[in-house]
Homo-oligomer: A and B are copies of this chain.
Amino acid sequence: MIDLALLPDGGLGWLDGSGPESHLVLSTRIRLARNLAEHRFSAQATEAEREAVLGMVREAAEQSVTLRRAMVFRLDSLPSLDRQLLHERHVVSKELSVPERGGVPRRASAVLLGRDVGAMVNEEDHLRLQGLVSGLSLEAAYAAVRRADVELGQQVAFAFHPQFGYLTSCPTNVGTGLRASILIHLPGLVLTKEIHRVLQGLSQVGLTYRGLYGEGSEVVGNFFQLSNQTTLGQSESELLDHLSRIVGQVIGHEEKARQILLRDAPSILEDKVWRAFGLLRHARSLGFEEAMNLLSGVRLGVGLGLVPDVGMYTVNRLLIETQPAHVLAMAGGVLDEAEVPVRRARHVRMILEAEAGRRG
């Protein structure tokens, strides 16, 4: 099993709550889709062609500052649990974490993990560069990923069309190849039932939303990923400016909803938050979805200053560590299915107890 502690930042730096608007925004992620010129897209390529692409990317990475020291995992030779762990850490897509055929994901697929930037190889595109930072910080995320993009682009030629821009496997990514995602926590809008109105508004201004785990994933725990729908026809900075403005508005709506809740239903709000805390602190069995929802309640309380003894990083960290593969990994990779919720609850209790001891 891979040792997640060896990942840059333990793989959790993006959750440390240090970035702007961290009480609402968990993280900003920017990914750039790139393909190597003169090579067939990964899905159409033979295994040998994909191996060639992977070799070129690794060589280019070794010449770069950003990815020279990256940890490299070949996903086609990694055990299933490790792939799941990397997926739950938001550094490998769902597609590359599940088997394609023969029980492994696509042959020659890999992920390179540097300090500020990661790169999936032979996913839908040859290269998917990802910058992931704490809070709302499009500039920081873009700077990190752009640097890797420039460095790698000096070593290999990317497929680029003078009129359309970067060419990608799926036409929806053509142009900038840029997708920015803001992982935001909107319990206030959910509780005030304003969320649907706000989400509908997003689609009218070119934004889309998903749940915690990318396309098609359900919204649990009031966590939403907001991202740009179009990649074409605007420059990178125009795209990011627009997204930043809209996310700013969503933040304003959420702040207002929280103020309304505090004004009109303070004891209902407080009760909700503390019940969630009480269950997390004492339950002996927790399902994944319930844990998410309870963590959402506590996170709201921490954000509003109602729960002084718990830090935002602790809550964010538990959102990651309560996921199925993480729970399984904590138990050394072997766990009776019925034991998973018991083990999850034990971990949550332990972390919250340690937190109380540290802060109390």
Interface residues of A (CB under 8 A from B): 267-268, 270-271, 273-275, 277-285, 338, 342, 345
B271 touches A345 (CB 8 A): yes
B275 touches A279 (CB 8 A): yes
B contact residues around A284 at 8 Å (CB):
267, 270-271, 273-275
Shortest CB-to-CB span from A187 to chain B, Å, is 16
B285 touches A282 (CB 8 A): no
A277 touches B267 (CB 8 A): no
Query: Which of B268, B273, B278, B285 interacts with A281 by CB under 8 Å?
Result: B278
Shortest CB-to-CB span from A322 to chain B, Å, is 15
Shortest CB-to-CB span from A298 to chain B, Å, is 10
Kindly state the separation between the CA atoms of A345 and B271 in the bound complex, as whole angstroms: 9
**Closest B residue, CB atoms, query A268:** B285
**Closest B residue, CB atoms, query A269:** B284
Kindly state the separation between the CA atoms of A25 and B283 in the bound complex, as whole angstroms: 27
7 contacts between A and B (CB under 8 A): A268-B285, A273-B284, A274-B282, A275-B284, A278-B278, A279-B279, A281-B282
Kindly state the separation between the CA atoms of A270 and B283 in the bound complex, as whole angstroms: 8
Shortest CB-to-CB span from A343 to chain B, Å, is 10
Copies of the chain in the assembly:
2
Shortest CB-to-CB span from A307 to chain B, Å, is 10
B contact residues around A342 at 8 Å (CB):
267, 271
A275 touches B282 (CB 8 A): yes
B contact residues around A279 at 8 Å (CB):
275, 278-279
Kindly state the separation between the CA atoms of A282 and B338 in the bound complex, as whole angstroms: 28
A277 touches B285 (CB 8 A): no
Query: Which of B267, B270, B283, B285 interacts with A278 by CB under 8 Å?
Result: B283
Kindly state the separation between the CA atoms of A342 and B271 in the bound complex, as whole angstroms: 9
Kindly state the separation between the CA atoms of A161 and B268 in the bound complex, as whole angstroms: 61
B contact residues around A278 at 8 Å (CB):
278-283
Kindly state the separation between the CA atoms of A342 and B267 in the bound complex, as whole angstroms: 7
* Residue among A273, A274, A280 facing the most chain B CB atoms (10 A cut-off): A274
Shortest CB-to-CB span from A348 to chain B, Å, is 11
Query: Which of B268, B271, B275, B285 interacts with A267 by CB under 8 Å?
Result: B285
B contact residues around A268 at 8 Å (CB):
285
**Closest B residue, CB atoms, query A282:** B278
Kindly state the separation between the CA atoms of A268 and B338 in the bound complex, as whole angstroms: 11
**Closest B residue, CB atoms, query A284:** B271
Shortest CB-to-CB span from A285 to chain B, Å, is 4
B contact residues around A281 at 8 Å (CB):
278, 281-282
Given contact pairs A271-B284, A274-B282, A274-B283, enumerate 11 new A-B contacts (beta carbons under 8 Å).
Answer: A267-B284, A271-B283, A271-B285, A271-B345, A275-B279, A275-B282, A275-B283, A275-B284, A278-B278, A278-B280, A279-B279
**Closest B residue, CB atoms, query A283:** B275
Kindly state the separation between the CA atoms of A281 and B356 in the bound complex, as whole angstroms: 15
Kindly state the separation between the CA atoms of A342 and B279 in the bound complex, as whole angstroms: 18
B contact residues around A283 at 8 Å (CB):
271, 274-275, 278
**Closest B residue, CB atoms, query A345:** B271
B contact residues around A271 at 8 Å (CB):
283-285, 342, 345
B contact residues around A280 at 8 Å (CB):
278
**Closest B residue, CB atoms, query A338:** B267
Kindly state the separation between the CA atoms of A274 and B283 in the bound complex, as whole angstroms: 5
Kindly state the separation between the CA atoms of A282 and B281 in the bound complex, as whole angstroms: 10
Kindly state the separation between the CA atoms of A231 and B295 in the bound complex, as whole angstroms: 57
